[in-house]
Amino acid sequence: MDMELKLVEAFALIMRAGSLTRAETQTGMSKATLSRLLRRLEEDLGVQLLSRSSRKVTPTDAGRAFHAHCEALLADVSGRWETARHEVQEMSTGGKGRLRVLADNHFTTTFVCHVARLFLEKYPNIRCELDAAGREDSPRMEDVDCYICAEAPDLPDVVAKLVGRLTYGLYASPKYLRANGTPSTPKDLTTHVSITLRMPEFAKTPVLHTDKTSHPYVTRSTVGTNDYWVMKTFCVDGLGIALLPDFFAGPEVRLGSLVPVLPEWKPERRRIFCAYQRQRYAAKKLQAFIALLSECMTDLEALNTYVAIAPR
């Protein structure tokens, strides 16, 4: 059984990577070893699973069908292993072991790292690993204890717990407003430069609201990025107006590096989820982390967020 599992795992790794070269880079297993395991699996099954070329591998119809079963099998084995590991580790008093957290890139340094710091102060015997999502080397959902995100993943056996909501506002630097004037209505934004975030969840045009009316957030966008830190730094440097999480811009507002723009106009609050595989929730350390995460969401202003300083 152990050998069969190795063959299945090797095949799944190659399928996820798309080529033997990339699988070697991502896993550290040599291409020769991966190729040998793949051939052994095909011989055992009596079918060809992948068509090879010098640059990539392409699954056959049999390979695609078999891959779905492989992923389900590996997820089940991983889940059962995690359940057993958690039970054994938590038989002793106090929290021990490892907590792996995955977070959307714009939540890592802005929020989640502060929660992780508070968690480690409370549970010093737990080793915490925090990874940013969206990179080639980012771990998969099934390999972590939880995933903090703005869009709950649609995966089987994954629970998405709502931990809070973020408020957003428009911000600009005093330098930008002195040079370009301060908009008095949302319509004025069409004459201003905006710094926009290129993220799938922000693909739709945001709508700004007051107590009485609403207006689409339409701007003359000339600066774009996929990172909140770059967005805020551009804003502090005077490149334009940015729609930022209020808690994230708070330190710069208190310092005077940023100024709220149209403060009475706000987009809808964004929901923040903590997603985890159902079987992992038995772990007390995960329960404690999620509880702390929810608690911190209710008092974001208390977090010691790093500050971007305007150049002099």
Q: pLDDT by residue (tens digit) across 158-187?
A: 899 999 998 999 999 999 999 999 999 999
The CATH architecture to which 2-87 belongs is Orthogonal Bundle (1.10)
Question: What pTM was estimated for this model as a whole?
Answer: 0.64
Is 146 strand, coil or helix?
Answer: strand
- Beta carbons of 290 and 161 less than 8 angstroms apart: yes
Compute the distance between CA of residue 145 and CA of residue 246 in angstroms, rounded to an integer: 28
Segment (H or E) for 132? strand 126-132
Residue 234 pLDDT > 50: yes
C-alpha 50/C-alpha 53 separation (Å) is 10
| Average pLDDT over all residues of the chain | 85
- Tell me the Cα Rg of the chain: 24
Position 204 scores a pLDDT of 72
Helix (H) / strand (E) element for 73: namely: helix 61-89
What confidence tier does 93 reach under pLDDT thresholds 50, 70, 90?
very low
pLDDT at res. 284: 86
Picking from 59-68, 192-201, 204-213, which range would have the lowest pLDDT averaged per residue? 192-201
Q: What is the pLDDT of residue 227?
A: 83
SS3 call for 156: coil
C-alpha 72/C-alpha 191 separation (Å) is 52
d(CA 239, CA 310): 12
**What's the average model confidence in pLDDT over 218-243?**
89
**pLDDT bracket for residue 307 (50, 70, 90):** low
Query: Do the domains spanning 93-164+271-302 and 168-268 agree at the CATH topology level?
Result: yes
* Rounded Cα distance, 272 and 148, in Å: 7
**Which pLDDT band, with edges at 50, 70 and 90, does 54 fall under?**
low
Q: With pLDDT > 90 as the criterion, what percentage of the chain qualifies?
A: 35
> What pLDDT does residue 202 have?
54
Determine the pLDDT at residue 79: 80
In this predicted structure, what is the pLDDT of residue 2? 64
Least confident of 7-11, 71-75, 76-80: 76-80
Q: Which residue has the higher pLDDT, 218 or 302?
A: 218
Which CATH homologous superfamily contains domain 168-268?
Periplasmic binding protein-like II (3.40.190.10)
Residue 29 main-chain phi, psi, to 5 deg: -80, 140
Q: Give residue limits of the domains in the chain.
A: 2-87, 93-164+271-302, 168-268
Two tokens at 241? Answer: 């107006």
Going by DSSP bridges, is the β-strand pair 193-197/241-245 parallel, antiparallel, or unpaired? parallel
Question: pLDDT tens, 245-290?
Answer: 998 898 899 999 999 999 999 999 989 999 998 888 878 889 999 9
CATH architecture assignment, domain 93-164+271-302: 3-Layer(aba) Sandwich (3.40)
